[in-house]
Structure 1
Protein backbone atom coordinates (compact mmCIF):
# COMPACT_ATOMS: atom_id res chain seq x y z
CA UNK A 1 0.00 0.00 0.00
CA UNK A 2 1.16 3.53 -0.74
CA UNK A 3 2.48 5.30 2.34
CA UNK A 4 1.10 8.57 0.99
CA UNK A 5 -2.61 8.43 1.47
CA UNK A 6 -5.60 10.44 2.60
CA UNK A 7 -8.30 8.54 4.44
CA UNK A 8 -11.81 9.65 3.55
CA UNK A 9 -14.34 8.97 6.30
CA UNK A 10 -18.07 9.30 6.77
CA UNK A 11 -20.13 9.01 9.94
CA UNK A 12 -23.72 8.00 10.56
CA UNK A 13 -24.91 9.22 13.94
CA UNK A 14 -27.88 9.47 16.28
CA UNK A 15 -27.92 13.26 15.81
CA UNK A 16 -25.70 16.24 15.22
CA UNK A 17 -24.60 17.37 18.68
CA UNK A 18 -22.29 15.34 20.89
CA UNK A 19 -22.29 14.43 23.72
CA UNK A 20 -26.10 14.28 23.45
CA UNK A 21 -25.61 12.25 20.28
CA UNK A 22 -23.05 9.68 19.20
CA UNK A 23 -21.80 7.63 16.27
CA UNK A 24 -23.55 4.48 15.04
CA UNK A 25 -21.40 3.77 11.95
CA UNK A 26 -18.08 4.86 10.45
CA UNK A 27 -17.01 4.17 6.90
CA UNK A 28 -13.74 4.84 5.11
CA UNK A 29 -12.14 4.87 1.68
CA UNK A 30 -8.46 5.62 1.00
CA UNK A 31 -7.07 7.83 -1.77
CA UNK A 32 -3.40 7.17 -2.51
CA UNK A 33 -0.58 8.89 -4.38
CA UNK A 34 0.95 6.75 -7.10
CA UNK A 35 4.50 6.67 -8.39
CA UNK A 36 3.26 8.59 -11.44
CA UNK A 37 2.37 11.54 -9.18
CA UNK A 38 -1.38 11.03 -9.60
CA UNK A 39 -3.89 10.29 -6.87
CA UNK A 40 -6.28 7.35 -7.19
CA UNK A 41 -9.02 5.58 -5.25
CA UNK A 42 -7.75 2.20 -4.06
CA UNK A 43 -9.44 -0.91 -2.66
CA UNK A 44 -8.96 -0.05 1.02
CA UNK A 45 -12.49 0.68 2.15
CA UNK A 46 -14.85 -0.55 4.78
CA UNK A 47 -17.36 0.23 7.50
CA UNK A 48 -17.92 -0.64 11.14
CA UNK A 49 -21.16 -0.38 13.08
CA UNK A 50 -20.79 1.44 16.40
CA UNK A 51 -22.83 1.17 19.58
CA UNK A 52 -23.92 4.76 20.35
CA UNK A 53 -24.79 3.84 23.93
CA UNK A 54 -28.33 5.15 23.56
CA UNK A 55 -31.43 4.47 21.46
CA UNK A 56 -31.29 5.65 17.86
CA UNK A 57 -34.07 8.22 17.24
CA UNK A 58 -36.64 7.41 14.58
CA UNK A 59 -35.79 10.60 12.68
CA UNK A 60 -32.21 9.42 12.15
CA UNK A 61 -33.19 5.81 11.52
CA UNK A 62 -35.25 7.20 8.65
CA UNK A 63 -32.07 8.68 7.12
CA UNK A 64 -29.53 5.87 7.41
CA UNK A 65 -31.82 2.91 8.29
CA UNK A 66 -29.55 1.69 11.09
CA UNK A 67 -31.74 0.37 13.92
CA UNK A 68 -30.98 -0.44 17.54
CA UNK A 69 -30.76 -4.20 16.91
CA UNK A 70 -28.01 -3.59 14.33
CA UNK A 71 -25.61 -2.13 16.89
CA UNK A 72 -26.12 -4.57 19.77
CA UNK A 73 -22.66 -5.89 20.67
CA UNK A 74 -20.88 -3.41 18.39
CA UNK A 75 -17.84 -1.54 19.76
CA UNK A 76 -18.27 1.86 21.33
CA UNK A 77 -17.01 4.95 19.50
CA UNK A 78 -14.00 5.58 21.72
CA UNK A 79 -12.92 1.97 21.20
CA UNK A 80 -13.11 1.85 17.41
CA UNK A 81 -12.43 5.45 16.37
CA UNK A 82 -8.60 5.42 16.75
CA UNK A 83 -8.36 2.19 14.73
CA UNK A 84 -10.06 3.83 11.74
CA UNK A 85 -8.89 7.43 12.12
CA UNK A 86 -5.26 6.41 12.66
CA UNK A 87 -4.76 3.52 10.24
CA UNK A 88 -1.68 1.31 10.28
CA UNK A 89 1.00 3.05 8.25
CA UNK A 90 -0.63 6.42 8.85
CA UNK A 91 -2.46 8.91 6.68
CA UNK A 92 -1.29 12.42 5.84
CA UNK A 93 -4.83 13.76 6.29
CA UNK A 94 -8.42 12.82 6.95
CA UNK A 95 -11.07 14.02 4.51
CA UNK A 96 -14.83 14.20 4.52
CA UNK A 97 -17.66 16.23 3.03
CA UNK A 98 -18.66 19.01 5.45
CA UNK A 99 -15.77 18.25 7.79
CA UNK A 100 -17.16 20.48 10.53
CA UNK A 101 -19.77 17.78 11.25
CA UNK A 102 -17.36 14.84 11.50
CA UNK A 103 -14.92 16.86 13.57
CA UNK A 104 -17.53 17.21 16.32
CA UNK A 105 -17.16 13.47 16.92
CA UNK A 106 -13.59 12.87 15.67
CA UNK A 107 -11.84 14.90 18.33
CA UNK A 108 -8.08 15.52 18.16
CA UNK A 109 -7.65 12.98 20.96
CA UNK A 110 -9.30 10.28 18.85
CA UNK A 111 -7.79 11.29 15.52
CA UNK A 112 -4.28 11.90 16.80
CA UNK A 113 -4.49 15.58 15.89
CA UNK A 114 -5.06 14.80 12.21
CA UNK A 115 -5.02 17.37 9.43
CA UNK A 116 -8.43 17.67 7.75
CA UNK A 117 -9.64 18.28 4.22
CA UNK A 118 -13.24 19.42 3.68
CA UNK A 119 -14.35 18.38 0.20
CA UNK A 120 -17.39 20.66 0.46
CA UNK A 121 -15.22 23.76 0.91
CA UNK A 122 -12.90 22.62 -1.89
CA UNK A 123 -15.82 21.96 -4.24
CA UNK A 124 -17.01 25.55 -3.75
CA UNK A 125 -13.64 26.73 -5.07
CA UNK A 126 -13.05 24.23 -7.85
CA UNK A 127 -16.56 23.67 -9.24
CA UNK A 128 -18.48 26.91 -8.52
CA UNK A 129 -21.02 26.27 -11.30
CA UNK A 130 -22.38 23.08 -9.74
CA UNK A 131 -26.14 23.43 -9.13
CA UNK A 132 -25.55 22.37 -5.52
CA UNK A 133 -22.62 21.20 -3.41
CA UNK A 134 -24.02 18.18 -1.63
CA UNK A 135 -22.03 14.99 -2.04
CA UNK A 136 -24.72 13.37 -4.16
CA UNK A 137 -25.48 16.34 -6.41
CA UNK A 138 -21.76 16.61 -7.15
CA UNK A 139 -21.74 12.89 -7.87
CA UNK A 140 -24.37 13.11 -10.59
CA UNK A 141 -23.40 16.55 -11.90
CA UNK A 142 -19.75 15.53 -12.30
CA UNK A 143 -20.07 11.76 -12.95
CA UNK A 144 -16.53 11.05 -11.68
CA UNK A 145 -14.57 8.57 -13.75
CA UNK A 146 -14.37 5.09 -12.28
CA UNK A 147 -17.13 5.54 -9.72
CA UNK A 148 -19.06 2.28 -9.54
CA UNK A 149 -22.71 3.09 -9.01
CA UNK A 150 -23.49 0.01 -6.93
CA UNK A 151 -20.54 0.52 -4.58
CA UNK A 152 -21.75 4.07 -3.97
CA UNK A 153 -25.16 2.88 -2.77
CA UNK A 154 -27.15 3.07 -0.59
CA UNK A 155 -26.91 6.78 0.08
CA UNK A 156 -26.55 7.81 3.74
CA UNK A 157 -24.57 4.75 4.71
CA UNK A 158 -21.02 5.37 5.80
CA UNK A 159 -18.93 3.34 3.37
CA UNK A 160 -20.86 4.23 0.18
CA UNK A 161 -20.81 7.93 1.08
CA UNK A 162 -17.06 7.80 1.83
CA UNK A 163 -16.52 6.01 -1.48
CA UNK A 164 -18.33 8.75 -3.41
CA UNK A 165 -16.48 11.51 -1.52
CA UNK A 166 -13.17 9.82 -2.32
CA UNK A 167 -13.79 10.19 -6.05
CA UNK A 168 -14.37 13.91 -5.61
CA UNK A 169 -11.24 14.15 -3.49
CA UNK A 170 -9.13 12.26 -6.01
CA UNK A 171 -10.04 14.75 -8.72
CA UNK A 172 -9.50 17.70 -6.38
CA UNK A 173 -6.04 16.48 -5.41
CA UNK A 174 -5.05 15.96 -9.03
CA UNK A 175 -6.38 19.39 -9.99
CA UNK A 176 -5.28 21.60 -7.09
CA UNK A 177 -2.81 19.61 -4.97
CA UNK A 178 -2.77 18.59 -1.34
CA UNK A 179 -1.45 21.81 0.20
CA UNK A 180 -4.06 24.00 -1.44
CA UNK A 181 -6.91 21.73 -0.38
CA UNK A 182 -5.69 21.84 3.20
CA UNK A 183 -5.40 25.64 3.01
CA UNK A 184 -8.95 26.05 1.68
CA UNK A 185 -10.27 23.62 4.30
CA UNK A 186 -8.89 25.80 7.08
CA UNK A 187 -10.84 28.84 5.87
CA UNK A 188 -14.59 29.53 5.87
CA UNK A 189 -16.47 28.29 2.83
CA UNK A 190 -16.18 30.57 -0.22
CA UNK A 191 -19.75 30.41 -1.50
CA UNK A 192 -19.95 31.17 -5.23
CA UNK A 193 -23.59 32.27 -5.03
CA UNK A 194 -26.00 33.70 -2.48
CA UNK A 195 -27.61 30.65 -0.81
CA UNK A 196 -30.85 32.19 0.49
CA UNK A 197 -33.01 35.29 0.58
CA UNK A 198 -34.21 37.61 -2.20
CA UNK A 199 -30.89 37.31 -4.06
CA UNK A 200 -30.73 33.53 -3.82
CA UNK A 201 -28.81 31.95 -6.70
CA UNK A 202 -27.08 35.13 -7.79
CA UNK A 203 -23.32 35.22 -8.12
CA UNK A 204 -21.67 37.78 -5.85
CA UNK A 205 -20.47 39.65 -8.94
CA UNK A 206 -24.11 40.41 -9.77
CA UNK A 207 -24.72 42.29 -6.52
CA UNK A 208 -24.23 45.97 -5.85
CA UNK A 209 -21.61 46.93 -3.26
CA UNK A 210 -24.28 48.07 -0.79
CA UNK A 211 -26.00 44.69 -0.98
CA UNK A 212 -22.71 42.89 -0.44
CA UNK A 213 -21.99 44.96 2.66
CA UNK A 214 -25.22 43.80 4.28
CA UNK A 215 -23.75 40.31 4.47
CA UNK A 216 -20.68 41.48 6.39
CA UNK A 217 -22.62 41.39 9.67
CA UNK A 218 -24.41 38.12 8.99
CA UNK A 219 -24.19 35.43 11.68
CA UNK A 220 -23.10 32.88 9.07
CA UNK A 221 -19.30 32.78 8.84
CA UNK A 222 -19.33 31.52 5.25
CA UNK A 223 -21.63 34.32 4.11
CA UNK A 224 -19.48 36.99 5.78
CA UNK A 225 -16.31 35.53 4.31
CA UNK A 226 -17.77 35.24 0.80
CA UNK A 227 -19.15 38.78 0.75
CA UNK A 228 -15.89 40.23 2.06
CA UNK A 229 -13.94 38.27 -0.54
CA UNK A 230 -16.16 39.66 -3.30
CA UNK A 231 -15.70 43.22 -2.07
CA UNK A 232 -11.96 42.86 -1.77
CA UNK A 233 -11.79 41.41 -5.27
CA UNK A 234 -13.53 44.51 -6.59
CA UNK A 235 -11.05 46.76 -4.79
CA UNK A 236 -8.16 44.79 -6.25
CA UNK A 237 -9.61 45.23 -9.74
CA UNK A 238 -9.91 49.03 -9.46
CA UNK A 239 -7.30 51.31 -11.04
CA UNK A 240 -4.58 52.60 -8.68
CA UNK A 241 -5.70 55.62 -6.68
CA UNK A 242 -9.33 54.54 -6.37
CA UNK A 243 -9.02 51.91 -3.61
CA UNK A 244 -8.21 54.10 -0.59
CA UNK A 245 -11.47 56.05 -0.29
CA UNK A 246 -13.48 52.82 -0.12
CA UNK A 247 -11.31 50.64 2.11
CA UNK A 248 -12.93 51.79 5.32
CA UNK A 249 -16.40 50.88 4.03
CA UNK A 250 -15.73 47.15 4.04
CA UNK A 251 -16.47 46.66 7.73
Structure 2
Protein backbone atom coordinates (compact mmCIF):
# COMPACT_ATOMS: atom_id res chain seq x y z
CA UNK A 1 0.00 0.00 0.00
CA UNK A 2 1.47 3.39 -0.96
CA UNK A 3 2.11 5.85 1.88
CA UNK A 4 -0.48 8.60 2.40
CA UNK A 5 0.25 11.80 0.48
CA UNK A 6 2.07 14.67 2.13
CA UNK A 7 -0.54 17.41 2.36
CA UNK A 8 -0.71 20.99 3.54
CA UNK A 9 -4.26 22.27 3.98
CA UNK A 10 -4.92 25.90 3.12
CA UNK A 11 -7.86 27.41 4.97
CA UNK A 12 -9.68 30.71 4.92
CA UNK A 13 -12.22 31.99 7.44
CA UNK A 14 -14.95 34.56 7.07
CA UNK A 15 -15.96 35.94 10.45
CA UNK A 16 -18.15 38.50 12.18
CA UNK A 17 -15.08 40.52 13.21
CA UNK A 18 -11.46 40.47 14.27
CA UNK A 19 -11.38 39.33 17.89
CA UNK A 20 -12.72 36.06 19.31
CA UNK A 21 -14.56 35.25 21.50
CA UNK A 22 -16.40 38.53 20.86
CA UNK A 23 -16.56 37.56 17.19
CA UNK A 24 -17.25 34.20 15.54
CA UNK A 25 -16.68 32.24 12.34
CA UNK A 26 -19.43 32.29 9.71
CA UNK A 27 -17.68 30.38 6.87
CA UNK A 28 -14.66 28.12 6.40
CA UNK A 29 -13.06 27.17 3.10
CA UNK A 30 -10.15 24.85 2.34
CA UNK A 31 -7.92 23.61 -0.47
CA UNK A 32 -5.15 21.00 -0.17
CA UNK A 33 -1.67 21.21 -1.68
CA UNK A 34 0.23 17.90 -1.94
CA UNK A 35 3.72 16.68 -2.83
CA UNK A 36 3.66 14.63 -6.02
CA UNK A 37 5.76 11.66 -7.03
CA UNK A 38 7.78 13.96 -9.25
CA UNK A 39 8.91 15.95 -6.21
CA UNK A 40 6.73 18.94 -7.12
CA UNK A 41 3.89 20.39 -5.07
CA UNK A 42 0.46 20.79 -6.69
CA UNK A 43 -3.14 21.42 -5.73
CA UNK A 44 -4.97 18.22 -4.78
CA UNK A 45 -8.70 17.57 -4.67
CA UNK A 46 -11.61 19.92 -5.05
CA UNK A 47 -11.44 21.64 -1.70
CA UNK A 48 -14.67 23.00 -0.31
CA UNK A 49 -16.46 25.31 2.08
CA UNK A 50 -19.47 25.48 4.34
CA UNK A 51 -21.29 28.07 6.36
CA UNK A 52 -20.98 28.22 10.15
CA UNK A 53 -23.39 29.68 12.69
CA UNK A 54 -21.28 32.29 14.52
CA UNK A 55 -23.68 32.40 17.47
CA UNK A 56 -24.25 36.13 17.11
CA UNK A 57 -25.47 38.64 14.55
CA UNK A 58 -23.19 39.48 11.63
CA UNK A 59 -22.54 43.25 11.66
CA UNK A 60 -23.41 45.16 8.49
CA UNK A 61 -19.79 46.29 8.13
CA UNK A 62 -18.64 42.67 7.76
CA UNK A 63 -21.66 41.66 5.65
CA UNK A 64 -20.49 44.35 3.24
CA UNK A 65 -17.19 42.48 2.84
CA UNK A 66 -18.28 38.84 2.48
CA UNK A 67 -22.05 39.25 1.85
CA UNK A 68 -23.02 36.42 4.22
CA UNK A 69 -26.42 37.08 5.80
CA UNK A 70 -27.72 36.08 9.22
CA UNK A 71 -30.54 34.05 7.69
CA UNK A 72 -28.04 32.03 5.64
CA UNK A 73 -26.18 30.80 8.73
CA UNK A 74 -29.17 30.37 11.07
CA UNK A 75 -29.35 26.58 10.56
CA UNK A 76 -25.60 26.02 10.05
CA UNK A 77 -23.49 24.05 12.56
CA UNK A 78 -21.57 25.85 15.27
CA UNK A 79 -17.79 26.32 14.97
CA UNK A 80 -17.01 23.95 17.84
CA UNK A 81 -19.15 21.23 16.24
CA UNK A 82 -17.68 21.39 12.74
CA UNK A 83 -14.11 22.74 12.85
CA UNK A 84 -12.07 19.70 13.90
CA UNK A 85 -12.62 17.46 10.81
CA UNK A 86 -11.57 20.29 8.49
CA UNK A 87 -8.60 21.50 10.52
CA UNK A 88 -7.31 18.01 11.37
CA UNK A 89 -8.19 15.81 8.37
CA UNK A 90 -7.12 12.28 7.45
CA UNK A 91 -4.56 11.72 6.07
CA UNK A 92 -3.06 14.10 8.59
CA UNK A 93 -1.69 17.29 7.01
CA UNK A 94 1.91 18.39 7.56
CA UNK A 95 0.73 21.89 8.41
CA UNK A 96 -2.10 24.36 7.98
CA UNK A 97 -1.67 27.46 5.85
CA UNK A 98 -3.47 30.75 5.40
CA UNK A 99 -2.80 34.21 4.04
CA UNK A 100 -2.23 36.38 7.12
CA UNK A 101 -2.39 33.18 9.18
CA UNK A 102 -2.20 35.10 12.47
CA UNK A 103 -5.87 35.96 11.90
CA UNK A 104 -7.01 32.35 11.33
CA UNK A 105 -4.94 31.14 14.26
CA UNK A 106 -6.98 33.31 16.65
CA UNK A 107 -10.09 31.27 15.83
CA UNK A 108 -8.45 27.83 15.48
CA UNK A 109 -7.42 26.51 18.89
CA UNK A 110 -4.60 24.02 19.39
CA UNK A 111 -7.23 21.44 20.39
CA UNK A 112 -9.03 21.92 17.07
CA UNK A 113 -5.84 21.65 15.00
CA UNK A 114 -4.02 19.08 17.18
CA UNK A 115 -1.31 21.73 17.65
CA UNK A 116 -0.59 22.00 13.93
CA UNK A 117 2.26 24.05 12.52
CA UNK A 118 1.15 27.01 10.40
CA UNK A 119 2.45 28.58 7.22
CA UNK A 120 1.59 32.24 6.61
CA UNK A 121 1.72 32.89 2.87
CA UNK A 122 1.77 36.66 3.53
CA UNK A 123 4.96 36.46 5.61
CA UNK A 124 6.54 34.05 3.12
CA UNK A 125 5.62 36.26 0.16
CA UNK A 126 7.48 39.15 1.81
CA UNK A 127 10.62 37.00 1.72
CA UNK A 128 10.21 35.27 -1.65
CA UNK A 129 8.65 38.00 -3.81
CA UNK A 130 9.78 41.32 -2.29
CA UNK A 131 9.31 43.09 -5.64
CA UNK A 132 5.51 42.69 -5.48
CA UNK A 133 3.71 46.07 -5.38
CA UNK A 134 1.63 44.78 -2.44
CA UNK A 135 1.21 41.52 -0.58
CA UNK A 136 -2.52 40.97 -0.28
CA UNK A 137 -3.85 37.66 -1.56
CA UNK A 138 -5.48 39.30 -4.56
CA UNK A 139 -2.62 41.63 -5.53
CA UNK A 140 -0.26 38.65 -5.49
CA UNK A 141 -2.77 36.79 -7.64
CA UNK A 142 -2.78 39.41 -10.39
CA UNK A 143 0.87 40.39 -10.09
CA UNK A 144 2.11 36.79 -10.20
CA UNK A 145 -0.56 35.20 -12.42
CA UNK A 146 0.05 31.66 -11.05
CA UNK A 147 0.06 28.95 -13.70
CA UNK A 148 -3.15 26.92 -13.85
CA UNK A 149 -5.39 29.16 -11.76
CA UNK A 150 -9.04 29.20 -12.85
CA UNK A 151 -10.25 32.79 -12.80
CA UNK A 152 -13.88 31.98 -12.03
CA UNK A 153 -13.07 29.39 -9.38
CA UNK A 154 -11.14 32.06 -7.52
CA UNK A 155 -14.16 34.40 -7.35
CA UNK A 156 -15.78 36.09 -5.58
CA UNK A 157 -13.01 37.47 -3.41
CA UNK A 158 -13.66 37.59 0.36
CA UNK A 159 -15.48 34.26 0.38
CA UNK A 160 -13.85 31.32 2.09
CA UNK A 161 -13.32 28.81 -0.71
CA UNK A 162 -12.25 31.23 -3.48
CA UNK A 163 -9.74 32.89 -1.14
CA UNK A 164 -8.36 29.51 0.02
CA UNK A 165 -8.11 28.42 -3.63
CA UNK A 166 -6.08 31.49 -4.61
CA UNK A 167 -3.85 31.16 -1.55
CA UNK A 168 -3.18 27.52 -2.45
CA UNK A 169 -1.54 28.60 -5.73
CA UNK A 170 0.75 30.96 -3.86
CA UNK A 171 1.61 28.16 -1.42
CA UNK A 172 2.23 25.67 -4.23
CA UNK A 173 4.77 27.96 -5.82
CA UNK A 174 6.40 28.77 -2.48
CA UNK A 175 6.82 25.07 -1.70
CA UNK A 176 8.49 24.54 -5.06
CA UNK A 177 11.06 27.19 -4.10
CA UNK A 178 11.65 26.66 -0.36
CA UNK A 179 11.16 23.78 2.07
CA UNK A 180 8.18 23.22 4.35
CA UNK A 181 10.47 23.73 7.35
CA UNK A 182 11.72 27.06 5.98
CA UNK A 183 8.19 28.36 5.35
CA UNK A 184 7.13 27.35 8.86
CA UNK A 185 10.19 29.10 10.32
CA UNK A 186 9.52 32.33 8.44
CA UNK A 187 5.86 32.13 9.48
CA UNK A 188 6.79 31.91 13.15
CA UNK A 189 8.60 35.26 12.97
CA UNK A 190 7.21 38.77 12.45
CA UNK A 191 6.92 39.89 8.83
CA UNK A 192 10.16 41.03 7.17
CA UNK A 193 8.97 44.07 5.20
CA UNK A 194 10.79 44.75 1.90
CA UNK A 195 10.04 48.48 2.03
CA UNK A 196 9.05 51.13 4.56
CA UNK A 197 5.27 51.19 4.44
CA UNK A 198 4.30 54.33 6.38
CA UNK A 199 5.44 57.88 7.02
CA UNK A 200 7.64 60.26 5.02
CA UNK A 201 10.01 57.41 4.06
CA UNK A 202 7.21 55.24 2.68
CA UNK A 203 8.39 53.08 -0.23
CA UNK A 204 12.09 53.35 0.57
CA UNK A 205 14.42 50.39 0.86
CA UNK A 206 15.44 49.95 4.50
CA UNK A 207 19.07 50.26 3.43
CA UNK A 208 18.44 53.87 2.42
CA UNK A 209 17.49 55.03 5.92
CA UNK A 210 19.71 57.10 8.15
CA UNK A 211 20.69 55.53 11.46
CA UNK A 212 18.47 57.80 13.56
CA UNK A 213 15.43 57.12 11.39
CA UNK A 214 16.10 53.38 11.53
CA UNK A 215 16.37 53.57 15.32
CA UNK A 216 12.93 55.18 15.46
CA UNK A 217 11.46 52.31 13.45
CA UNK A 218 13.23 49.81 15.72
CA UNK A 219 11.14 51.19 18.60
CA UNK A 220 7.86 51.10 16.66
CA UNK A 221 4.79 49.46 18.20
CA UNK A 222 4.14 47.40 15.06
CA UNK A 223 6.03 44.09 15.48
CA UNK A 224 6.68 43.74 11.73
CA UNK A 225 8.14 47.23 11.45
CA UNK A 226 10.18 46.80 14.62
CA UNK A 227 11.53 43.38 13.57
CA UNK A 228 12.47 44.58 10.08
CA UNK A 229 14.28 47.62 11.42
CA UNK A 230 16.15 45.45 13.92
CA UNK A 231 17.17 43.09 11.13
CA UNK A 232 18.54 46.01 9.10
CA UNK A 233 20.45 47.25 12.13
CA UNK A 234 21.90 43.76 12.57
CA UNK A 235 22.77 43.59 8.86
CA UNK A 236 24.76 46.81 9.16
CA UNK A 237 26.68 45.17 12.00
CA UNK A 238 27.36 42.14 9.81
CA UNK A 239 24.44 39.94 10.91
CA UNK A 240 20.79 40.37 9.88
CA UNK A 241 19.05 39.89 6.59
CA UNK A 242 16.54 41.74 4.48
CA UNK A 243 14.28 40.36 1.77
CA UNK A 244 15.65 37.98 -0.81
CA UNK A 245 18.87 37.41 1.13
CA UNK A 246 16.81 35.09 3.35
CA UNK A 247 15.85 32.96 0.36
CA UNK A 248 19.41 32.78 -0.88
CA UNK A 249 20.56 31.51 2.48
CA UNK A 250 17.74 28.97 2.59
CA UNK A 251 18.73 27.50 -0.78
CA UNK A 252 22.44 27.17 -0.05
Normalising by the smaller structure, the TM-score range is: over 0.9
Corresponding residue for residue 50 of structure 1? 52
After TM superposition, the structure 1 = structure 2 runs for residues 150-229 of structure 1, keeping only pairs within 5 Å, are 150-229=152-231
Per the alignment, residue 242 of structure 1 pairs with none
Q: CA deviation at 1:111?
A: 1.1
After the TM superposition, which parts of structure 1 deviate over 3 Å for at least 4 consecutive aligned residues? Answer: none
- Tell me, in whole angstroms, the C-alpha distance in 2 between the residues paired with 1:166 and 1:2: 20
Q: How far apart, in 2, do the equivalents of 1:217 and 1:190 lie?
A: 15
Q: C-alpha distance in 2, partners of 1:195/1:107?
A: 31
Query: Structure 2: where are the runs of 5+ without partners?
Result: 240-252
Aligned residues: 237
CA RMSD of aligned residues (A): 1.1
- Aligned with 1:117 (options 102, 116, 119): 119
Which residue does 1:37 correspond to in 2?
A: 39
Residue 6 of structure 2 aligns with which residue?
Answer: 4
Q: Structure 2: how far apart are the matches of 1:175 and 1:88?
A: 26
Specify every segment of 5 or more residues in structure 1 that has no aligned partner in the other structure, as ranges. 238-251
- Residue 103 of structure 2: aligned partner: 101
**Partner of 2:238: helix, strand, or coil?**
helix
Aligned match for 1:232, one of 234, 237, 249: 234
> Match of 2:93?
91
TM-score for the superposition, normalised by structure 1:
0.92
Q: Is residue 2–residue 33 contact of structure 1 (8 Å, CA) maintained in 2?
A: no
Instruction: Provide the rounded CA distance (Å) in 2 between the counterparts of 1:44 and 1:104.
Output: 26
Residue 88 (structure 1) shift: 1.7
SS of the aligned residue for 1:236 comes to coil
Partner of 1:63: 65
CA deviation map 1:179-203 (0-9, x unaligned): 1101100111000111111111111
Query: Is the 1:3–1:90 contact (alpha carbons within 8 Å) kept by the matching residues of 2?
Result: no
Deviations 1:131-170 (A, max 9, x none): 0000000000000001100000000000000000000000
- Name the CA shift for 1:150/1:117 in 2 (closer, same or farther; >3 Å): same
- CA shift for structure 1 position 2: 5.0
